[in-house]
Chains A and B, each alone.
Chain A
């Protein structure tokens, strides 16, 4: 478990061999992503309308505009929902109910820590030096005093998690979201974010973990933990929505647009670290 905070020399050796192995695939992925991005850039973005201003909206979104792939999306959404209902959700519920909570917290924090490193990189790419610095501070604090990331003391100290990803970086520079796409098993996404996924995988520190069986076990636990964390939210969607697919899509597109907005104007979303608790 020493792949991440280790001597530069050791890192160089591993990344060199990694890079060599991946270079062919990486280039192919890069080309594919570039192609998708060009398409996405041309497509209209799913920017949310100002609901407050329009009482009589000429929006006319009967579910088709902004969601040209609706037929395909609904099918995949159904598929994901079935897999979730019969496989993932029961496991995640059991995980939430029967594993000790400190273990769940540790798992969440550990993978969150890896994510923070990648988030820092995206912060730099987005030109948000301060945000990137905060992410690095998070990783430093949590990796050292937080026992290799098992404890999230940075959040306690007032530095919240940011979760920047490459799709957000692209959006920050003006790449439109493109149509809404539901990915098999991965869930809601947009054309731009789908194109950005390979970069996210490449930047995922855990994917470099050896031996492979540990990597796979870790990935499995991580997925279950994430799903468990979302059980309350998905329960809410079940209750709140008349049409779960449409509700998820509309909430997701706004959420994503808001994340892009956050990347463009980080100063508007600052948390005051000295804020009082209620």
Chain B
């Protein structure tokens, strides 16, 4: 009898310890919306106050993006989702190449948006998930002096003690979903290598445009 009781005690105590440990780690991490708020305020404040950014100095902009945005984005997952069922069929080299090219495309494309940051204000809507959820959608609205408010949502996943963004939604359109069809029709026509080549060509154009613009500044 003592034996069984002891066993129960040990089990019970370990159970408690485990729950305590888990609760401890969850509380130590910041909630997803706080994370997004922190990152986006940081980026927006920098973009707004930095005159070089506003002037369109591309090296400064790219630097800003590298430092304050890239570390928090899961490009691998984003690319895998955009490639859909073709992802599994690709070789590791193709996957790596695709991730790199897609990442460049997104950086070149959306860095430009940072020059337009002016008087926008961002408000966040309450999270609709449990604090222990590992995959969360953070919803926000961007209000500006002209035009209607812009809905801006993020899909974030837990990554270690923090979060990483793997999809963004503007005006109801998810980024990954918007590229899915283009990727899939390109792959169907020219294969995965064809898609990678197309992206490379486009990125080369953009890089050239960026460096001439940087040279001007």
Question: What 1/0 flags go to B157-197 for Cβ under 8 Å of A?
Answer: 00000000011000111101111111011101000000000
Chain B residues bordering chain A, tally (CB within 8 A): 54
**Are the C-beta atoms of B180 and A62 separated by less than 8 Å?**
no
Interface string of A6-47 (1 = CB under 8 A from B): 000000000000000000000000000000000000000000
Asked whether B198 lies within 8 Å of A108 as measured between CB atoms, the reply is: no
Tell me the number of A-to-B contacts counted with CB atoms below 8 Å: 140
Contact indicator A242/B148 (Cβ below 8 Å): no
Chain A: residues with Cβ within 8 Å of the partner, total of: 52
* A-B pairs with beta carbons under 8 Å apart, 11 shown: A51-B167, A55-B84, A56-B87, A58-B85, A63-B184, A236-B109, A249-B181, A250-B178, A269-B151, A278-B121, A278-B123
Query: Is residue A207 within 8 Å, beta carbon to beta carbon, of the partner chain?
Result: no
Whether A247 touches B177, Cβ cut-off 8 Å, given contacts A52-B167, A56-B88, A271-B141, is no
Contacts of B173 in A (CB 8 A): 250-252, 254-255, 258
Chain A residues in contact with chain B, CB under 8 A?
A: 48-49, 51-52, 54-63, 104-105, 108, 155, 160-163, 229, 232, 235-236, 239-243, 246-247, 249-252, 254-259, 261, 269-272, 275-278
A111 to B212, CA, bound (A): 40
User: Are A63's CB and B143's CB within 8 A?
Assistant: no
| Contact (A59, B88) CB under 8 Å given A255-B172, A278-B44 | no
Q: Contact between A48 and B116 (Cβ–Cβ < 8 Å)?
A: no
- Across the interface, which residues of B come within 8 angstroms of A270, CB to CB? 125
CA–CA, A58 and B86, complex, Å? 10
Residue B57, interface by CB 8 Å: no
Given A163-B148, A254-B178, A272-B125, are A55 and B188 neighbors across the interface (CB < 8 Å)? no
Note all chain B residues with C-beta closer than 8 A to A236: 109-110, 112-113
B149 touches A239 (CB 8 A): no
Given contacts A62-B185, A108-B146, A240-B105, contact A254 B85 (CB under 8 A): no
B80 proximal to A (CB < 8 A) = yes
A59 to chain B, nearest CB (A): 6
